[in-house]
Structure 1
Amino acid sequence: MSLKNPAALEFLQTRRSRPAKTLVAPAPTRDELLPLLMAAARSPDHGKLEPWRFIVLEKGAMPRLSALTQEFGATLGKTPEEIAKARSQFDMGHLAVAVIEVQKPSEKVPAIEQTYSAGAVCLALLNAALAAGWGANWLSGWQTHNPRFCQKAFGLKDNERVVGLVHIATEGATPPERPRPDVATLTEWVSA
């Protein structure tokens, strides 16, 4: 039987993302980020395929990604508001980790399970950052779902896609608590 860890359970029951717009400098250093990436890499991974990888976007990369978002937004006919919202995560970003799903051929592990594993990595990274005392937020956006943008921005291959951009920096203002799901109404018990 596993040992109980009440502190970890309390953390998971009370954790909450910090809006990216409230994150301020400093962001984690490379040495501070590495243990968070190691924690994220312990996510469920059926078949030990490692169907994901990380691209760390440091502060210096943010202006390029913002400009690229502007360029693609105009080409795709996005409204100025849609472009501004998409750019904002890069305009205000200090550090983000792009979690990249890497689909790998497997007779035993379906593609959807590889997608689930990559999503689990995003959540694990988010929780590791929060547990380490950082503010963190998992974002995406229309640009991260556009294969041409992702190829130009991140050099992705045909079997890769962005699962999320996990922004990590110092927590600025603490946002108010938001309503949480009523688990009792979402749960069905089956006993036979």
Structure 2
Amino acid sequence: MNPSSVEFLLARKSPPIAELSEPAPSDDDIATMIRIASRVPDHGRLAPWRFVLYRGEARKRIGERLAELAEQREGPLPEARRQQELTRFSRAPIVIGVISTPRENPKIPQWEMFLSGGAAAMNLVHAAHALGYAANWITNWYSYDAEARQMLGLAPDERVIGFVHIGTHSGEVFERPRPDPATLLAEYTGPQQSE
């Protein structure tokens, strides 16, 4: 057992996206993160996920388009809400979309492929933290909106697993309440008897 790995996993926390700042991961660090993110259970070796990197000025253009889409759906936005939409992708130095790319397979169900993508997203978060950065995985309304997904580079049959915002964080991260592990584990004692 590697105690430092266990301590790392037990201590991992995601800071608020607004607290992520430069420096951003280098291209080499991003490549390493994607290699780590891809090392997940993948029944049938289908790689039913992919990654999209959002950085630079593209993040601001995305925000402008998201604000437009939100106004089309909700009507005029209050200024604070408009600013929120404008900065959705520009609060952190980079954002990596983890995208579900379903494959047709007679033996492997779609939900299992989606779970593999979730594992890839979690590995991406762990990779960012292991390389000395910080990350926060979210979805939000634009993950479920067909027009927004298309604008973000997804094909019609693809879905968002998550957007992982990555940057540098200094300072402490608030520890949120966590479930009691003792309440989450049950030992199997055989099939339940029907009355």
Normalising by structure 1, we get a TM-score of 0.91
Note the C-alpha offset of 1:82.
5.2
| Aligned with residue 29 of structure 1, among 26, 29, 43 | 26
> Which residue number in structure 2 is paired with residue 164 of structure 1?
162
Note the C-alpha offset of 1:129.
0.5
Partners of 1:90 and 1:123 lie apart in 2 by: 19
Within the alignment, does 1:127 sit opposite 2:126 as a pair? yes
Counterpart residue identity of residue 144, structure 2: H
Counterpart residue identity of residue 135, structure 1: A
Q: Which runs of 5+ in 2 are unaligned?
A: 191-195
Distance change (3 Å), C-alpha of 1:87 and 1:123: farther
Partners of 2:155 and 2:144 lie apart in 1 by: 14
> Which residue number in structure 1 is paired with residue 193 of structure 2?
none
Partners of 2:179 and 2:186 lie apart in 1 by: 15
> Which residue number in structure 2 is paired with residue 91 of structure 1?
90
Aligned length, in residue pairs: 188
Partners of 1:139 and 1:112 lie apart in 2 by: 19
Identity of aligned residues (%): 35
Residues 146-187 of structure 1 deviation map (CA, whole Å, 9 limit, x = unaligned):
111111221x21221111111111113422222211111222
> Which residue number in structure 1 is paired with residue 59 of structure 2?
62
In the TM superposition, 1:9-158 aligns within 5 A as 9-77=6-74, 80=78, 83-154=82-153, 156-158=154-156
The answer to whether the 8 A contact 2:13-2:173 is kept is: no
Partners of 2:98 and 2:6 lie apart in 1 by: 25
Note the C-alpha offset of 1:84.
4.2
User: Where is the helix percentage greater, Structure 1 or Structure 2?
Assistant: 1
The answer to whether the 8 A contact 2:49-2:100 is kept is: yes
Partners of 2:67 and 2:21 lie apart in 1 by: 23
The answer to whether the 8 A contact 1:86-1:142 is kept is: no
Distance change (3 Å), C-alpha of 1:83 and 1:110: farther
The answer to whether the 8 A contact 1:59-1:93 is kept is: no
CA RMSD of aligned residues (A): 1.7
Pick which of 117-126 and 75-84 moved more.
75-84
Q: Which runs of 5+ in 1 are unaligned?
A: none
